[in-house]
Amino acid sequence: MLRKLKNSLFLIYIVLATFLVTLPLFHIIFSVFINGFPVILKAGLSFLTETLPPPGEELAGIGPAILGTFILTFLSSLIGIPIATLAGIYAAEYPNSFFSRATRTLLLVMIEFPTILVSLFVMSIVVLPMGRFSAIAGAIALVIVMMPYVAVYTEQALKSVPERYREAAYALGLKRKQVVFRVMFSIARKGIVTGFLIGIAKAAGETAPILFTAGGAYRTFFIGLDKPVGAIPLLIYDLVQQPYSNYHEIAWGSALILLIVFLAIFIPVRLSVREVKL
Amino acid sequence: MDKFKISLFPNISLIFGIFALMLIVFFLNSLPSIQKFGIELYTTNVWKAYEYEHEERYGLLAAIYGSVYTSVIALLISIPLSIGFAIFVVDFAPKKIKEPLIVITDVMAGLPTILYGIWGLFVLAPFLRDYIMIPLYKTFSYIPLFSYPPTGYCYFTAGVLLAIMVTPFATAIVRESYRMVPRIYKEGAFALGLTKYETTKILLKYIKPAIVAGTLLAFGRAIGETVAVSLVVGNTFNVHPSLFAPGYTISSLIANQFGNAFIYDLMPSTLFAAGLSLFLIGLSVNLLGLQYLKRWRYA
Amino acid sequence: MNAFEVRNLRVSYDDFEIISGIDLDIPAKTCFAIMGPSGCGKSTLLRTFNRLIEINENARVSGIIKLFGKNIFEIETSELRRRVGMVFQIPNPFPHLSVYENVAVGPKFNKMVKNKKELDKIVEWALKKAVLWDEVKDRLRERASNLSGGQMQRLCIARALALKPEVLLMDEPTANLDPISASKIEELIHELKKEYTMVIVTHSPSQASRIADYVAFLYLGKIVEIGRVEDVFENPKHELTEKYLTGRIG
């Protein structure tokens, strides 16, 4: 009797746990839509193109933040993806060397690493010497954040290619470089591209790394790599901490845009591969 | 050494170099503050920011206390839920909802943290205040744990928000290892006439290292999380036992104070020292967690 | 003329010796079968002939192997592998490439052709040589993974032939095929040995007797018996060989 009771309680518990674990996502999406959609509807298309209004009634737009996110993501991908991909190739191609094992551990540690520390680090080595916040500093911080994801994905994608294709490529007289880039890389491309996209999604969505690096600029559009630049997550973070209700509305609208951007990158990626590591 | 290997080397060195440089930068920048205040930097709760150096005094205890407090709350909520969810997905979920459930947690794991932040600030905190904290405070305010008049922005809200954020990571680790438990153990337990509950209990013992790993890695994530926490934790120098008291965490302290730290002599260094402690805590917890994970995977 | 001369060959992985001192000669333009039970080292031996063994960082090779009189360890690996083609146990056409590209990949990356026309010619020639042309000439742009197992294996043979090799190594080329596809491959081997030196690893004595001119019986990393097929099969000199041929070791 007691055993049966325990068993039933257990079953109730795991169903309840499942419900509680998944509920927040739906509520977050629901809240962002409920609060963000009317804002975008009210502001119209100019929400995407106009600059931030002064505190008060106006909504205007978040154009500079959208452009800034695009620039930061593009720049950091441009720098980070090639380096990280090559590092991933190293870890996959020379799995037994000491350096390779150390690299794998380091990459996994860096994935788990508090991103606010990256912000502090880049501030002290880039922002302080340059004398101001800049797009390039923000991009460097995001490079450090995104690289481990891209590298780990590349490594695992290459490792999942069956050995027989590697052997076949070598048996045709291909050189190591050709084997890796022309054969292994193409066969593993799905996993590798997944890594790129996860890295890009991270760069577009992170707030902490750009907190003390990008600086934020919402009333002017992009004016140069060495000048401050805004970003959607950073804008939301700034706006919600101010007491103005139109800023809160704009924050919700921005959150909706960020959510849509994220889901647009992430859902197709997630559905095309069996597992992701974040 | 072949040419190809050598040509890849700069990339590896760059990543190692960045990491090493980071450690050095944090260490060097922390030095002035550590030299000035000694061990008291980490054991006292003071924050006297004056423009004259000899009057400045800082102690990071409130932030360290808050980081540990909120992370522990997060784990206490998250780990049991993660295990329950993992069991449901692996053993009980019908095929049709199994994959969607995993997709949901993956989306949660990748969701930009600022979205948790804005939701925590405007939705979760008021909800917890009105429906959980105020009732508890009204009835149990004589218990220290519930003693602080709730505003909604406190350790508890931060802990709950962190729990929501780290559960996808913890449950993924538990789920993967639970899934890999050899069938024969499960069948063997059923053959003994054990109930599902009793069987599961035995199997959970089998994957204990993975649960430990999940707990450690979740702790590492929780303690490093910044923007979402800083929006709900209250940002107050406080070392208070109550769940409902506002406080600081190391990362929210940095996020909040670093922007204007440079007008003071020792504040930047103090914040780097805070970062250094976070660096070291994070590094050791994560290395330990990865170690457990490895032991499990290659056992 | 010998295609391969092997003297005192030893191969080990992580201090575990797989091949322990082998001497053998493989005459040119014959079919030479290496047979033996699984784990005897025959695949490892085959992989030393084109130095494919070296892609494993833990492998150590010592001894001498000469290809038409020249020490293979002094030939650049990519040149050696061009001259010594290989076909594997599991048909492994590159899944991301088309039928055409699979055959073209070798000549292209080894810079054997100057233009598309020459490449087309080689591809057609190799596919005809592998008796696959008629079946795939209208499907050259399709993914190689759409072919049947037997077709894939002949595609792999065409891919190897496209490099115009002197020797063709085959590692249990029919082990993963149905009997009909397997017999097609065996027929093909009969044809090819007129022009190429064929070295084939097999775990089946009956296959060795059907296709080979010479045979070596390998057991625990050593050659137990070697000679013309009819001699070894009709008058095995060694008790182990007899046991193996009658199916008592396997």
Q: What is the DSSP letter of A153?
A: H
Average pLDDT, chain C: 92
Q: State the complex-level ipTM.
A: 0.93
Q: Which of A96, A164, A173 sits opposite C82 (nearest CB)?
A: A173
pLDDT band at B296 (very low <50, low <70, confident <90, very high): low
What's the CATH fold of domain B2-297?
MetI-like fold (1.10.3720)
In which band, very low, low, confident or very high, does the pLDDT at B75 lie, cut at 50, 70 and 90? very high
pLDDT at A140 (0 to 100) = 97
**Among residues A121, A167, A175, which one has the least CA distance to residue A144?**
A121
Q: Do A173 and C79 touch (CB under 8 A)?
A: yes
User: CA C139, C143, C145 angle in degrees (round to 5)?
Assistant: 115
Burial (Cβ within 10 Å: 0-12, 13-18, ≥19) of residue B126: middle
Given a cut of 80, whether residue B53 has pLDDT beyond it is no
Searching chain C, which residue's CA lies closest to the CA of residue A172?
Answer: C106
**Chain A CB contacts of B88 below 8 Å:** 14-15, 17-18
- For residue A124, the chain B residues in CB contact (below 8 A) are 25, 29, 272
In this prediction, residue C250 carries a pLDDT of 59
CB B79 within 8 A of CB B214: yes
Q: How far apart are CA A220 and CA A17, in angstroms?
A: 47
Question: B110 and A83: CB-CB below 8 Å?
Answer: no
Task: Tell me the per-residue pLDDT of A131-174, one tens digit each, with 9 for 90 and over.
Answer: 999 999 999 999 999 999 999 999 999 999 999 999 999 999 99
pTM for the whole thing? 0.90
Best A117, A122, A175 member to test B by mutation, with max B CBs in 10 Å, is: A117
- Please name the residue that has the structure tokens 């080292």: C41
In angstroms, what separates the C-alpha of A250 from chain B's closest C-alpha? 12
- Residues from chain B that touch A11, judged by Cβ atoms under 8 A, are 92, 196-197
Phi, psi dihedrals of residue A9, rounded to the nearest 5°: -60, -40
What gap in Å lies between CA B219 and CA B79, rounded to an integer?
Answer: 10
Q: Which of A18, A114, A206 sits opposite B84 (nearest CB)?
A: A18
Check pLDDT > 60 for residue C228. yes
Cβ contacts of B195 on chain A, cutoff 8 Å: 3-4, 6-7
Nearest Cα to A137, choosing from A52, A68, A51?
Answer: A68
Q: Positive or negative CA dihedral for B45, B49, B53, B54?
A: negative
Q: What is the mean pLDDT of residues C93-99?
A: 92
Percent composition of chain B: helix, strand, coil (DSSP 3-state, to 5): 80, 0, 20
Q: Domain residue spans in chain B? A: 2-297
Residue from the list A25, A120, A180 with its beta carbon closest to the beta carbon of B107 = A25
Contact between chains at A171 and C109 (C-beta distance less than 8 A):
no
Encoded amino acid at C65, one letter: I
Rounded to an integer, the average pLDDT of B54-73 is 93
Contact A234, A214 (CB under 8 A): yes
Would you call C95 and A183 a contact, using CB atoms and an 8 Å cutoff? no
Interchain touch A–B (≥3 Cβ pairs closer than 8 Å) = yes
Nearest to C91 by CA among C33, C167, C174: C174
B-chain residues within 8 Å CB-CB of A123? Answer: 258
Alpha-helical (H) ranges within chain A are 2-43, 63-93, 98-111, 115-122, 128-130, 135-159, 163-171, 176-178, 185-187, 189-205, 232-240, 245-272
- Asked if the Cβ–Cβ distance from A182 to C109 is below 8 Å, we say yes
Q: Which residue in B88, B115, B223 is closest to A32 by CB distance?
A: B115
Q: Are strands C214-219 and C31-35 parallel, antiparallel or unpaired?
A: parallel
What's the pLDDT at A274? 62
pLDDT of residue B298: 47
Q: Which chains touch A (3 or more CB pairs under 8 A)?
A: B, C
What does the pLDDT average to over A213-223? Answer: 84
Return the closest-CA partner of residue A182 out of C86, C124, C101, C115: C101
Residue A83 confidence (pLDDT) above 70: yes
Spacing of C-alpha C212 from chain mean position: 13
What distance in Å separates the CA atoms of residue A101 and residue A96, rounded to the nearest whole number? 7
Test the A interface: residue of C13, C92, C143 with most A CBs within 10 Å: C92
Q: How many whole angstroms separate alpha carbon C155 and alpha carbon C151?
A: 6
Instruction: Compare CB distances from B197 to A10, A108, A114 and report the shortest one's residue.
Output: A10
CB-based contact C94 A96, cutoff 8 Å: no
pLDDT confidence of residue A170: 95
What's the whole-number mean pLDDT along residues C21-41? 92
CB contact under 8 A, B255 and A266: no
Structure tokens at C2: 């010998």
Chain A residues whose beta carbon lies within 8 Å of the beta carbon of residue C97? 186
The domains found in chain A, sorted by start residue, are 63-272 (1.10.3720.10)
Query: Cα angle at A51 between A46 and A56, to 5 degrees?
Result: 95
Q: What does the pLDDT read at residue B299?
A: 40
**pLDDT for A54:** 87
Mutate: best of B5, B9, B12, B199, partner A, most A CBs <10 A: B12
Identity of the residue in A4, A87, A121 whose CB atom sits nearest the CB atom of B11: A87
Residue of B nearest to A31 (CA): B119
> Who wins on pLDDT, A1 or C231?
C231
**pLDDT single digits (tens) C202-216:** 988 999 999 999 999
Q: Please, how many CA atoms are within 13 Å of residue A112, restricted to the half-sphere of its CB?
A: 31
A39 closest CA partner among A62, A19, A59 = A59
Q: B143 to chain A nearest CA, in Å?
A: 27
In chain B, pLDDT over 90 holds for what percent of residues?
A: 69
**Structural tokens at position A59:** 């909504």
For chain B, the chains sharing at least 3 beta-carbon pairs closer than 8 angstroms are A
**Residue C152: strand pairing partners:** none
| C248/chain A closest Cα distance in angstroms | 31
pLDDT in tens, C162-204: 999 999 999 999 998 999 999 999 999 999 999 999 999 998 8
Structure tokens at C223: 């050659």
Quick one: tokens of A61? 């737009």
